[in-house]
Amino acid sequence: MRFTAGEIANVVDGTLVGPDIDIDGACHDSREIVGGELFVPLVDQRDGHDFITVALDAGAGAYFTAREPVGGTAIRVDDPALALARLGAHARGRLPDRVVGITGSVGKTSCKDLTAAAVGRRFETSASLRSFNNEYGVPLTLVNASPTTEASVIEMGARGLRHIANLCAIADPTVGVVTAVDAVHTEMFGDIEQVAVAKGELVEHLSASGTAVLNDANPFVAAMADRTVATVLRYGSDRSEIRASQVTLDDELRAAFHLHTPWGDAPVQLAIRGEHHVGNALAAAAAALAVGVPLDDVAAGLGDAELSPWRMDLRVAASGARILNDAYNAGPASMDAALRALVRLDAVRHLAILGPMAELGEHSDVAHRRIAELAADLGVQIVAVGAPEYDALTVEHVADQAAALAAIEPLRAADAVLVKGSRVAGLERLAQRLVDPD
């Protein structure tokens, strides 16, 4: 989205220093500057102010700063993060009222990808990149929307109460999707009930003209119907308005099903893998229908959808073994789904290289033991990388990724391997080495 530097300064209550030039979007990572953007120096593990000159050298058009300007076009502000939020809300005001907000303990990024594909069949659509779902990612998504955007799909994450409410104040969604409430990030929330309170802030924000899309198969989400004045569309159960029948999986774990909606019925063939994505596809269908996408376009868009990296990515190693890379993140629900998907692959030996499920607080030991027990019941051999919480006699524990690779050798064509763990584990690198050792 294009702005002038003076317009930005006015919107964020800043002071323009230097020429009033045209700005095209915004970026908070100096390594990703392509030219003409506003550079936003965030203060996190590192202070982004230290990279302003790098951003200018890379072609940034202007920058926020809470320090003395260092040349070029600067916009002095007290807090660059707050200024970014204000600019995001200003950008939202330029967009049509087809804004889908998506949250949930699990599945929100995949649901975002599916929704963007379905909505994009009829409307020019801007969507969150990867998992840009926090107080920085949401305004950046809005600011970087195309000037001709007709619909927006915004992923919203939370690590505490009022986080979703604050994101809604920026993005002002007209459709809200809640995929699930599960025991994820309980280290921050305390218990699952507080997770439900936080996720429900999305549907509480919706107006009477909006639509809340709720997972009827999840009791915590289903109960959110009482927390919104918006129209409610339910999915995921036999009694839901949006539901699936005749679900089948092919040899590549791709689901096909018959989609039933108040707008009519249609066959859907997904290109993404895992039966658990049928629920995400139903949520995406509901959101797309709610913003006016015709049913046939919804079905076609779902069939074309691709997921963000490291999610149920099935590859074949040189040995012929199949490698299921679901390494982006992990919680109890997604780990359960991934293990059940693994054993649907035709293989003599099913292996799972698992990292820890982080941020579970006092629930961590129980959650890891349950996953170890599930794997044993399914006949899956676990190699746990730096994750002693998988406490079971059937689990082989190793200290690092090199040891994990050694533990599963030799791989054969009759093997299927799942690689999954929380972000702290970085197991996507191991998955890549399994597929391409060079």
Q: Which tens digit of pLDDT belongs to each residue from 62-116?
A: 999 999 999 999 999 999 999 999 999 999 999 999 999 999 999 999 999 999 9
Mean pLDDT of 153-170: 96
pLDDT at 185 over 70: no
In the three-class reduction of DSSP (H, G, I as helix; E, B as strand; rest coil), residue 410 is classed as coil
Number of helices and strands (H, E) in the chain?
Answer: 16, 22
DSSP bridge partners of 418: 324, 352
Rounded CA-CA distance 368/363 in Å is 9
Of 391 and 12, the one with more pLDDT: 12
The pLDDT of residue 161 = 93
Q: What is the pLDDT of residues 372-393, one digit of tens each?
A: 999 999 999 999 999 999 988 8
**CA 228 → CA 201, 212, 291, distances in Å?**
9, 8, 18
The CATH class for the domain spanning 95-304 reads: alpha beta
What band does 220 get if pLDDT is binned at 50, 70 and 90?
Answer: very high
Q: Tokens for 359?
A: 């941020």
Fold observed for domain 2-78: 3.40.1390
Q: For residue 175, how far is the Cα from the chain centroid?
A: 17
Does the structure show a pLDDT above 70 at 431? yes
Q: Which two tokens stand for residue 1?
A: 């989205």
Partners of 295 in beta bridges? none
- Residues 248-262: tens digit of each pLDDT: 999 999 999 999 999
**What mean pLDDT is reported for the chain?**
96
* Dist. CA 323–CA 393, nearest whole Å: 24
Least confident of 60-74, 158-172, 186-200, 223-237: 186-200
pLDDT for residue 186 is more than 70 = no
Q: What is the pLDDT of residue 131?
A: 78
> Is the pLDDT at 438 greater than 80, yes or no?
no
What is 313-435's CATH topology? Answer: Protein-Tyrosine Phosphatase; Chain A (3.90.190)
CA–CA separation, 195 vs 288, rounded Å? 26
Q: Is the pLDDT of residue 308 over 90?
A: no
pLDDT of the residue at 187? 66
Q: Examine the pLDDT at 37 and tell me if it is beyond 90.
A: yes
Q: Report how far residue 129's alpha carbon sits from residue 148's, in angstroms, rounded to the nearest whole number.
A: 18
Scan for tokens 């809340």, then name that residue: 212
Q: What is the mean pLDDT of residues 314-332?
A: 94
Mean pLDDT of 219-233: 98
Q: Where are the domains of the chain?
A: 2-78, 95-304, 313-435
pLDDT of residue 190: 74
Residue with tokens 């975002």: 112
